[in-house]
Amino acid sequence: MSVILKASHICVAYEGKKVVENVSFEVERGDYLCIVGENGTGKSSLVKAMLGLVPTCCGKAEFNLKNGRKRIGYLPQQNVMQNNFPASVKETVLSGCLSGMKFPKIYGKKERDTAEEYMKYLDIYELGKKSVGELSGGQRQRVFLARALCAADEILVLDEPVSGLDINAAKDLYNCLEKINKEKNITIIMISHDMQSALRYATKILHLDKTLLFYGSKEDYLLSPYSKRLLS
Amino acid sequence: MGFLEVVFTNPLFIRGAAIGFLVSLCAALLGVCLVLKRCSMIGDGLSHVAFGTLSVAVALNFAPLVITIPIVMLSAFFLLRLSESSSIKGDSAIALISSTSLAIGVAAASLGGVTKSVDGYMFGSIWLVEMEELYICIPLAAAVIAIFLLCYNDIFLVTFDEDFAKASGINVGVYKTVMSLLTALVIVIGMRIMGTLLISSLIIFPSLTAMRIFKSFKGVVICSSAVAVAAFALGFVVSYYTEMPTGASIVIVNALFFSVFYAIGKLARR
């Protein structure tokens, strides 16, 4: 198996205060990695730094993607502001295709087909004309998942995708992710608060508390003392 | 003389109408992004800065636009950074800047003894518009429309989800800077018609009106442009017959449109 992401010595600081310190790890193609840790331990910052959304003070993340282009499917933390935004499901999913396009970015048949494929794959095709704000939480997350899939066919990065979802909607989303991971062999990196599900679906666990506490397979994690901290 | 006859024969009318249409359209397009990004108050702040600078320029006998445009563009750049930084609350900072600029403008006008012409900036008048403004307005409108046509999909994503746009490799900073600079220009030009106090309504009303009914970004963009142009045309005609100030009648028409769209939106969702 080949390495798809190599993070080396990543540090992030906000206004002089370090929130992520010296984190290094490697992710292999097809992995399902859950990043766990308590609130405010730098999980989101680490992910954002890897994606280049916030500056790092040192270290870097290298993605080893097939086509050489940096195409990563990102599902950001939920943003309540988006609930009133006039964006149809179709517009939202299509916008995922932009990452692979060159100026002038006008959607052609290829993009429309990709969007349609993933909308059908995640069972939201019928919602196409609806506004994202009108959907239930679970449907909305599937829309954003479809958008992320349009952006990337190798790796997905998700920031707490199930927060705010009820148990059934969360279970649906986990099933979607498992399907994507297994059927399409897409690498998944997910920040999660939900330890039970993280341990159920993930193959690897990264436990963060500003620095890296644990990184390895799920089985090893369960034997390590760190797992007790979050499970209790 | 009938309205249409005047419109097509009087150069003042033609100039005013041309600028009005172009400014309304640009303000509506930029307004969709500003409103959705929750920074429509930047427009309001900029209009006050423009007022302050214009009054100072008039009092000192400088060419008003030459001084005002760069200063307002600079403020736009600065206000945008301000609204991004978490340490200062953007809205209160904008309020401070607005009232300070307004005070400086009023003081400069009274010290310089030019209160009369400054009145024109406060409430605006379509008859004060000069050729100079039309020369700025045409390329400005061309730029705004071209950017919206060519980069429409990027604009959607930057407005909707900045983080995802960044992760998709879109240069969000460039878009935001360009947008705020264009907004600054639209405000300086539009102020001559609408006045300091009313110009921000050109930015805010059309997109809010469109959002009552349309639920897709494309729908909102197209509808708000149509609403803006229609409101200007109607407001212009009304102000001609009633001798109301043009700015005021345009805002009133916009408010009426909003109420009608609001009612339709409510009824449609029942």
Which pLDDT tens digit goes with each residue over A81-104? 778 899 999 999 999 999 878 878
* A69 within 8 A of A100, measured Cβ to Cβ: yes
Which pLDDT value is given to residue B172?
92
| ipTM computed for the complex | 0.91
- Position B229: which residue type? V
Q: What is the pLDDT of residue B269?
A: 81
Where do runs of H (alpha helix) occur along chain B?
Answer: 3-9, 11-36, 41-59, 64-84, 90-112, 115-123, 131-150, 152-160, 162-167, 172-194, 199-213, 217-242, 246-268
pLDDT for the residue B107: 92
Does A86 contact B217 at a Cβ distance shorter than 8 Å?
A: yes
Asked whether the predicted pLDDT for residue B84 surpasses 80, the reply is no
Non-local CB neighbours of A190 within 8 Å, separated by 6+ positions: A32, A33, A34, A35, A156, A157, A158, A161, A177, A198, A202
Q: Are A104 and B151 an interchain contact pair (Cβ–Cβ within 8 Å)?
A: yes
The percent of residues above 70 in pLDDT, for chain A, comes to: 97
In this prediction, residues A49-61 reach a mean pLDDT of 90
Q: Which of residues 76-135 of B touch A (CB under 8 A)?
A: 87
| Facing B167 at nearest CB: one of A51, A81, A134 | A51
Range A156-180 average pLDDT:
91
Residue B88's pLDDT is what?
A: 59
State yes or no: pLDDT of B19 exceeds 80. Answer: yes
Q: Return the bridge partners of A88, or none.
A: A131
Residue-wise pLDDT tens digits, B114-152: 777 777 788 888 887 888 888 999 999 999 999 999 999
Q: Do B150 and A48 touch (CB under 8 A)?
A: no
pLDDT of residue B66: 87
From the list B167, B168, B216, the residue facing A91 with the nearest CB is B216
Beta-carbon separation of A95 and B211 below 8 A? no
Q: Is the pLDDT of residue A166 over 80?
A: yes
- Is pLDDT of A138 > 80? yes
- Report the range of poorest mean pLDDT among A80-89, A198-207, B112-121, B181-190: B112-121
- Spatial distance between the Cα atoms of B200 and B211, rounded to a whole number of angstroms: 17
- Whole-number CA gyration radius for chain B: 18
Average pLDDT over residues A21-25: 93
Nearest to B154 among A52, A98, A131 (CB): A98
User: How far apart are alpha carbons B129 and A139 in whole angstroms?
Assistant: 51
Q: What percent of chain B has pLDDT over 70?
A: 97
Q: Please give the residue that has the higher pLDDT: either A68 or A190.
A: A190
Closest chain A residue to the Cα of B219, Cα to Cα: A86
Looking at residue B1, its pLDDT comes to 56
Q: Look at residue B94 in the predicted model and tell me its pLDDT.
A: 85
Q: Residue A108 — φ and ψ, nearest 5°?
A: -110, -165
Residue A79 tokens, joined: 């943003």
CB contact under 8 A, B215 and A92: no
Q: Does A86 touch chain B (CB under 8 A)?
A: yes
Q: What pLDDT, on the 0 to 100 scale, is given for residue A68?
A: 61
For residue A76, give the nearest of B154, B157, B164 by CB distance.
B164
Mind listing the pLDDT tens digit for each residue in A147-160? 999 998 889 999 99
**pLDDT value at residue B174:** 93
Query: What does the pLDDT read at residue A206?
Result: 94
More confident residue, A215 or B79: A215
From chain B residues 133-152, the ones with a CB under 8 A of any chain A CB are 150-151
Q: Which residues of A touch B87 (CB under 8 A)?
A: 15
- pLDDT per residue as tens digits for the range B35-79: 998 888 888 899 999 999 999 998 888 888 888 999 999 999 888
Q: Is A222 on the interface with B (CB under 8 A)?
A: no
* pLDDT for A232: 65
* B213 in A contact zone (CB under 8 Å): no
- State the smallest CA–CA distance between residue B152 and chain A in angstroms: 8
H helix or E strand, kind and range, residue A120: helix A109-121
Tell me if B160 and A95 make a contact (CB, 8 A cut-off): yes
Name which of A64-73, B108-117, B148-157, B248-257 the model is least confident about.
A64-73
Within 8 A of B214 by CB-CB distance, chain A residues are: 86
Question: B42, B191 in Cβ contact below 8 A?
Answer: no
Note the pLDDT of residue B223. 97
A175 is written with which tokens?
């099933």
- Count the helices and strands in chain A (H runs, E runs): 8, 9
Contact A154, A66 (CB under 8 A): yes
Model confidence at B85: pLDDT above 80 = no
The count of domains in chain B is 1
Q: What's the pLDDT score for residue B243?
A: 87
Give the range of the structural domain holding residue B239, as residue numbers without chain letter: 3-268
Phi, psi for A82 (deg, rounded to 5): -75, -15
Does the pLDDT of residue B86 top 60, yes or no? Answer: no
pLDDT at A35 (0 to 100) = 94
Kind of pairing between the strands at A58-63 and A73-75: unpaired
Q: Where are the beta strands (DSSP E) in chain A?
A: 3-14, 17-28, 32-36, 58-63, 73-75, 155-159, 187-191, 204-209, 211-217
Cis peptide before A104 (omega within 30 of 0): yes
Lowest mean pLDDT among B69-78, B82-91, B205-214: B82-91
Note the pTM of the prediction, 2 decimals: 0.92
CATH number of the structural domain spanning residue B234: 1.10.3470.10
Alpha carbon distance B192, A47 (integer Å): 48
Instruction: Tell me the pLDDT band of B260, cut-offs 50, 70 and 90.
Output: very high
pLDDT at A148: 93
**Alpha-carbon dihedral of residues B96, B99, B102, B104, nearest 10 degrees?**
-60
**Buried (b) or exposed (e) across A116-138, using 16+ Cβ within 10 A?**
bebbebbebbebbebbbeebebb
